[in-house]
Amino acid sequence: MQLQQTILEEKNPDEKLIQLILELKKQLNAVILVHNYQRPEMYKIADFIGDSLGLSEEAAKTDADIILFCGVKFMAETAKILSPKKTVLLPSLDAGCALADMATLEQLKKVKEKHPDAAVVSYVNANADIKAESDVCCTSMNAVKIVNSLPNKEIIFLPDKNLGRYVASKTDKKIILWDGYCFVHDKLNAEMLDDLKKDMPGAKIIAHPECKTDILQEADHISGTGGMAKFANSSNAKDFIVVTECGMTEKLKEDVPDKNFYSFCNICPYMKYTTLPLVVSSLTQKQHEITLPEETIKKARKALDKMLEYS
């Protein structure tokens, strides 16, 4: 603990903190998952970097005893659902998700009563109790395929209404939208995008499907964070406007260094709560362990497994 305190008191502790975390990983047989939207220095401690579901799937494959998730709470919950026997840690309990919290179990049960024949499709950006009450989960990349694979003619889609509208535009099924949204994506509009396009008239637009319809209509490519680098690599364009949390541009610059990425200054504060000192504290003290009721894990796992089956 004395070494930890000394490092924290230094003016530029990042590099030494990173080395300390790498040593702690070895000692504790831990794996560290880092979401694309995290601070750039967090990439240096990662075993895996990616979107939320991809990270949890990677964690389930490892023989680590501890999973430390540098992301937000619903992501760590998903890791626990897929790896129930492992210890899952979240460095900061402040790292919640406003979108996930817009759906409550009580509300969902009421909507299900009104639409008894509808299938419940929950975005992975939902809390564990919502996943457990769902027929199947989905990601932003496979949501359309999941919905079209279901036999039901009605779909309760939650919690993101913008993603739900995008899905509705790609299916003949009746989509019952939830009044939820990611405030980072929802605040952006076509007028803001047009202003940015004036400075880069040749740039291709990559948009996250959590954006509003007017943004998506202008996009050259629509995908979750996991598909953005693939599109940039395959495109002949040199410049890209990325319409999502602006931290994604840092990751894209690492993945596709020969191209240029621009974004709005739209930050998710929850994604930035995780810091190197908090990671050290979480590992050394087994701080902020994610626990879930066994029944919730069992039911939520069925919804996630069904998604993987349909995918």
- What pLDDT digit, counting tens, does each position of 233-270 carry? 999 999 999 999 988 998 899 999 999 999 987 889 99
The span from the CA of 213 to the CA of 205, in Å, is 14
Identify the burial level of 179 via C-beta atoms within 10 angstroms of its C-beta, where 0-12 means exposed, 13-18 middle and 19 or more buried: exposed
The pLDDT of residue 299 is 98
CATH number belonging to domain 99-181+296-310: 3.40.50.10800
Domain with CATH 3.40.50.10800 in the chain: 2-96+271-291, 99-181+296-310, 188-265
Tell me if the domain spanning 2-96+271-291 has CATH number 3.40.50.1100: no
**What integer is the mean pLDDT of 106-130?**
97
2.60.120.10, 3.40.50.10800, 3.10.20.30, 3.40.1180.10: CATH of 188-265: 3.40.50.10800
The 10s digit of each residue's pLDDT in 36-67 is 999 999 999 999 998 887 888 888 888 999 99
Percent of the chain clearing pLDDT 90 (strictly above): 79
Q: Give the full edge-to-edge strand order of the sheet including 239-243.
A: 221-222, 204-207, 239-243, 260-262
Tokens for 290? 């994610």
The pLDDT of residue 12 is 61
Identify the burial level of 258 via C-beta atoms within 10 angstroms of its C-beta, where 0-12 means exposed, 13-18 middle and 19 or more buried: exposed
